[in-house]
Amino acid sequence: MVAQIIDGKLFSRKLRDQVAEHVNALKKENNVTPGLAVVLVGEDPASQVYVRSKGKQTIEAGMNSYEHRLSENTSEEDLLELVNRLNDDNEVHGILVQLPLPEHINEDAVINAIDPVKDVDGFHISNVGLLATGQNSMVPCTPLGCLLMLKDLHGSLSGMDAVIIGRSNIVGKPMAQLLLSESCTVTITHSKTKNLEEMVGRADIIIAAVGRPEMVKGDWIKPGATLIDVGINRVEGNDGGKRLVGDAEFSSCSEIAGAITPVPGGVGPMTIACLLVNTLVACCRKHKLAEPYIIPN
């Protein structure tokens, strides 16, 4: 193996420690405690796991955690009413509505009902617009985590060729905006892209956010490239049990890449750490206090 393994577990631990230090100082010096409200509708097992770990890590960082678990049958109207109450609640600095929502609820309507200043997922249309125009916004957590790891590894990303595989609103598109802001030359590829392998082969930075197990192979990538694997796919292992793999084939890619994130233990842990960063930022903005330096502009 030649690639440097980018340890997202360790990096996220450091990030969460930094957040906890800031929170401690806010409490002591300003008598303010950041609060994150997480809303879960329904019983989706994966969402329940995420919500539990978000709550646990919020409390570990010294913040207040407010969980709202609603039944699968909750109406859109009732959910919007809860969002409005959280918007008005001064103890709540960040609001996250866990996606996906049940089919009878319009996700866009709910996301856009969140006060943009409290939109710690960064999915509100105002934050999307602010990010696209290079203004101060809430940045979606997963791409923010990817960017922090890239900047930690390379320092400046200016002039690098970045290829993003996947154009979703939560990963691919905001990732492209962030890398553009860092002066990368950005190519977004997707399910209809022709010559995907050839494009990936030109990249200094590859972001794989597809949701297809081990799609990117070692012989696709340029020697020394940095590969950030966002994919989380549950597949059957040789022993018949389940195991997690990314969108890149780790065994072959780690022979060619210069640096690579593993799955699990790469991008995944960074996402919740960045949610805590965003909650802290939202709290500082609300109280007109200096923002922590961990957020790149």
Q: For residue 267, count CB atoms less than 10 angstroms from its CB and return exposed for 0-12, middle for 13-18, buried for 19 or more.
A: buried
Q: Contact with ligand NAD (CB under 6 A): which of 164, 232, 259, 282?
A: 232
**242-245 vs 233-236, strand pairing mode:** antiparallel
- Conformational region of residue 173, where left means phi above 0, alpha means psi within -120 to 50, and beta covers everything else: alpha
Map tokens 């990936």 to a residue: 200
Active-site choice (98, 118, 173, 247):
98
Q: Answer yes or no whether residue 142 interacts with ligand NAD by CB under 6 A.
A: yes
Nearest to 164 by CA among 140, 180, 148, 151: 180
Q: Residue with CB nearest ligand NAD?
A: 168
Q: Which is nearer to ligand NAD, 72 or 197 (CB)?
A: 197
Q: Which helix (H) or strand (E) holds 83?
A: helix 76-88
User: Between residues 33 and 252, which has the closer beta carbon with respect to ligand NAD?
Assistant: 252
* CA-based radius of gyration for the chain: 19
How far apart, in whole angstroms, are the C-alpha atoms of residue 266 and residue 10? 9
Residue 270, both tokens = 């960074």
Q: List the one residue from 57, 58, 65, 189 that touches ligand NAD (CB under 6 A).
A: 189
- Smallest separation (angstroms) from ligand NAD to the CB of 256: 19
Q: Give me the least distance between CB of 271 and ligand NAD, in Å please.
A: 3
User: What single string gives the DSSP state of each residue in 120-158?
Assistant: TT--SHHHHHHHHTT-S-PPPHHHHHHHHHHHHHHS--T
In a 3-state reduction of DSSP, which class is residue 65?
strand
88 labelled catalytic: no
Binding of ligand NAD by 171 (CB under 6 A) = yes
Active site residue 54: yes
CB of 32 to ligand NAD, least distance (A): 28
Binding to ligand NAD by residue 172, rule CB under 6 A? yes
Is 261 near ligand NAD (CB under 6 A)?
A: no
Q: Which stretch binds ligand NAD (CB under 6 A): 23-31, 105-113, 186-194, 276-284?
A: 186-194
Distance CA 250, CA 252 (A): 6
Residue number, 26 or 149, with CB nearest to ligand NAD: 149
Q: Which of 57, 118, 119, 121 is catalytic?
A: 121
* Span from 121-129, 169-177, 235-243, 251-259 in contact with ligand NAD (CB under 6 A): 169-177
Shortest CB 213 distance to ligand NAD, Å: 9
Distances (CA, A) of 23 to 16, 64, 104, 141, 270: 10, 10, 38, 19, 18
Report 205-224 residues binding ligand NAD (CB under 6 A). Answer: 209-212
User: What residues make contact with ligand NAD under the rule CB under 6 A?
Assistant: 142, 165-168, 170-172, 189-191, 193, 196, 209-212, 230-233, 267-268, 271
- Would you please indicate which residues are annotated as catalytic (active-site) residues? 54, 98, 121
